Amino acid sequence: MELTISQLAERIGAELIDEVGAGDLVIRAARPIEAAGANDVTFLTNDKHKASLGSSGAGAVIVGGRLDGCERPQLVVENVDSALIEALNLFAPELTPVVAGIDSSAQVADGVSIGEGVSIGPGVVVAKGVEVGEKSIIGSGCKIGENSTIGANCRLDSNVVIYHNCRLGNHVIVQANSTIGSTGFGYSFIEGSHRLIPHNGGVVIEDFVDIGANCCIDRAKFGDTVVGAGTKIDNLVQVGHNVVIGKCCLIASLVGVSGSCKLGDGVVLGGQVGLADNIELGSGVMVAAKSGVINDIEAGQKVAWTPAIERREAYRIINSVMRLPELAKELKKLGKRMNDLEAAEDGKN
């Protein structure tokens, strides 16, 4: 897509401030300040970067408020983040639109309910009792197990596996090679061997959830494993059986959420965080990357470290740890001084 600066301003609902009369300049991409060239629009999401704007090659800039002393054409918007998303969508690489219909190599069981405008790609296997809502796109190589339901406007990328009795809401995205509804890690040790506890439950993925590539969401032993509406999950994340995740959470890559954990709304888990079994995190809890959580955390708390504790306290402790060899030396010196004093004292008696 090519747009003139004026057209772009109109499309993203921006006020155009164009002191140099460059409104007809063609823009082909949105790029960060340091990478933008003459045919790119850049953006100022953070005032910290205002200084670098001067040396940017960008043809125009999206700003949250008019910048004085900036000769470049400015597209003034209320919310730069939102305008940037619109601009990026305008300049997205053009791809062939997905065609509705069922590829001839897909195997769709009899009686499956397929909504209007659904696309089912090559090699897809859809089992009995499945429902797929309108306009959903099932990528090549996906498998959808018996009685699972996929809502409307979903997108399953290639080779996603959904086991039986899973329910995905609307506008759910699952990226390639992810697995939903696998049997969880639950065994009883009986007479010398680990016997699997049957997982009779399912998985519920609510509306507007995004799940990254190569993730695993296990089905529940009883009831459902739940991922709440609007929650976003990065790549290579493990969500154990019977976990209940609230709405609008963010879960970064390589996180492990053990069985039966309960997360409130808006919880943020940094990369490689691990939660022990049965942990409850209140709404708004933020866990710093790599932390290991072994106790419940109250709503709104920010925690870090293993075992995860209040974040500032964790940093205070880590700072102390960093100084520990020094402390040990001080302690040793103090011991010597004590010896000297005691010896002096003894000498007097």
166 and 148 Cβ atoms separated by less than 8 Å: yes
Per CB under 8 A, which region of 3-11, 52-60, 61-69, 284-292 contacts its own copies?
284-292
Residue ranges with strand state E in 104-218: 107-108, 113-114, 119-120, 125-126, 131-132, 137-138, 143-144, 149-150, 155-156, 161-162, 166-168, 173-174, 179-182, 187-190, 193-196, 202-205, 210-211, 216-218
DSSP bridge pairs for 119: 101, 137
**203: helix, coil or strand?**
strand
Identify the residue among 223, 278, 300, 343 touching its own copies (CB under 8 A).
223
Active site residue 241: yes
Q: Which span (16-24, 47-55, 62-70, 334-342) binds its own copies, by CB under 8 A?
A: 334-342
Do residues 24 and 5 lie in contact, with contact meaning Cβ atoms separated by under 8 Å?
Answer: yes
Residues 142-171 that bind its own copies (CB under 8 A): 143, 146-147, 157-159, 161, 163-165
Q: Among residues 18 and 293, whose Cβ is nearest to its own copies?
A: 293
19-58 binders of its own copies (CB under 8 A): 29-32, 35
- Rounded to whole angstroms, how far apart are CA atoms 69 and 341? 69
Residue ranges in 191-220 that form contacts with its own copies under rule CB under 8 A: 192-198, 200, 208, 210, 212-216, 218
Residue 156 CB, shortest distance to its own copies, in Å, is 12
Among 140, 301, 310, 311, binds its own copies (CB under 8 A): 140
Instruction: Decide: is 96 part of the binding site for its own copies (CB under 8 A).
Output: yes
13 lies in the site for its own copies, by CB under 8 A: no
* Binding residue for its own copies, selected from 177, 296, 301, 311, defined by CB under 8 A: 177
Per CB under 8 A, contacts with its own copies among 65-84 are 79, 81-82, 84
Kindly state the DSSP code that residue 133 receives in the 8-state scheme. -
Residue 166, classed as helix, strand or coil, is strand
Q: Distance between CA 53 and CA 33 in Å, rounded?
A: 6
β-strands 40-43, 244-245 pairing? unpaired
Closer to its own copies by CB, 69 or 111: give it.
Answer: 111
Regarding 85 and contact with its own copies (CB under 8 A), the answer is yes
CA 138 to each of CA 72, 102, 144, 178: distance values in angstroms, whole numbers, following the listed order: 44, 9, 9, 13
Kindly state the helix (H) or strand (E) to which residue 15 belongs, with its residue range.
Answer: strand 15-17
Residues binding its own copies: what is the number (CB under 8 A)? 115
Site string for its own copies, 295-324 (x = CB under 8 A): -----------xx-x------xxxxxxxxx
Indicate which single residue of 133, 240, 246, 264 sits in contact with its own copies (rule: CB under 8 A).
240
For the bound state, the minimum distance from the C-beta of residue 23 to its own copies, rounded and expressed in Å, comes to 23
Pseudo-torsion of CA 47, 48, 53, 59, nearest 10°?
-50
Which residues are tagged catalytic?
A: 241
